[in-house]
């Protein structure tokens, strides 16, 4: 009975992101229809000096498991930090969607062809086939990876407080960020602003939390 009550409570807490995700995917699919010729390019001369390394496909795809796992851990072991994690994800993705709706972005960095029959080359070709080189600014891969690291670092959960866990989360986050550039998915500009967004929105979220407590009491 207690387990069911806990599960129901955590499902209720996680409901905002569960409702938002389909909206995000539909909206993103819509802005992906914008032709590249209408996009503002974000690639810089500096990006051309960064090598293409297909092995970084592993951490890039690891992101799709990493973010949900961090969310699942926080929602069960640190509900307060999970709410901040969720608020940061939603606010960052909404900002990204609005920005790219009115100011579509894109880049030209990908290699013309990824040769090889190995698993890395296959993964990169698959990635390029399902994801265009538009709507890249700021990098959501980068932003959410930084958010995941910050929230896990602040978490008071037993596992999150272990040094080994923090080191592992940091390494995964950094490898994902590097992967966006080494796979030519994002420019240095996309990555820089993806990182910079986190402290800005985190300040906004935490300031809103303080105002909420002052006005209505501690609802966290």
pLDDT in tens, 44-53: 999 999 999 9
Enter the tokens of residue 158: 């037993």
Residue 138 preceded by cis peptide, ω within 30: yes
Whole-number pLDDT of residue 218: 54
Take residue 157 and report the two structure tokens written for it: 């959960």
| Distance, CA of 197 to CA of 193 (rounded, Å) | 6
Neighbours of 18 (CB within 10 A): 10
DSSP H or E stretch at residue 125: helix 119-130
Q: How many CB atoms within 10 Å of residue 90?
A: 19
Cβ–Cβ contacts within 10 Å for residue 3, how many? 7
The model's pTM is: 0.92
Beta carbons within 10 angstroms of residue 10's beta carbon = 15
Instruction: For the chain of 220 residues, list the mean pLDDT of each consecutive stretch of 10.
Output: 69 93 96 95 96 98 98 95 97 98 97 94 96 96 98 94 96 98 98 97 85 48
In this predicted model, what pLDDT tens digit does every residue of 44-81 receive, in sequence order? 999 999 999 999 999 999 999 999 999 999 999 999 99
What is the domain partition of the chain in residue ranges?
Answer: 2-33+51-216
């Amino acid at each position: 009975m207690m387990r069911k009550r806990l599960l129901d409570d955590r499902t209720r807490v996680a409901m905002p992101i569960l409702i938002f995700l389909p909206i995000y995917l539909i909206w993103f699919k819509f802005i992906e229809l914008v032709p590249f010729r209408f996009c503002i390019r974000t690639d810089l001369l500096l990006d051309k000096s960064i090598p293409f390394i297909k092995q970084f496909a592993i951490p890039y795809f690891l992101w799709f498991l990493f973010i949900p796992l961090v969310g699942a851990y926080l929602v069960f072991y640190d509900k307060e930090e999970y709410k901040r994690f969720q608020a940061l994800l939603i606010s960052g993705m909404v900002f990204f969607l609005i920005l790219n709706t009115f100011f579509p972005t894109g880049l030209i960095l990908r290699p013309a062809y990824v040769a090889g029959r190995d698993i890395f080359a296959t993964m990169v070709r698959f990635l390029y086939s399902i994801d265009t080189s538009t709507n890249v600014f700021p990098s959501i891969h980068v932003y959410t990876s930084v958010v995941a690291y910050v929230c896990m670092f602040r978490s008071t959960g037993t596992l999150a407080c272990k040094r080994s866990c923090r080191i592992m989360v940091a390494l995964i986050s950094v490898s994902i960020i590097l992967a966006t550039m080494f796979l030519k998915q994002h420019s240095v500009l996309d990555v820089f602003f993806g990182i910079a967004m986190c402290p800005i929105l985190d300040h906004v979220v935490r300031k809103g939390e303080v105002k909420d407590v002052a006005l209505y009491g501690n609802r966290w």
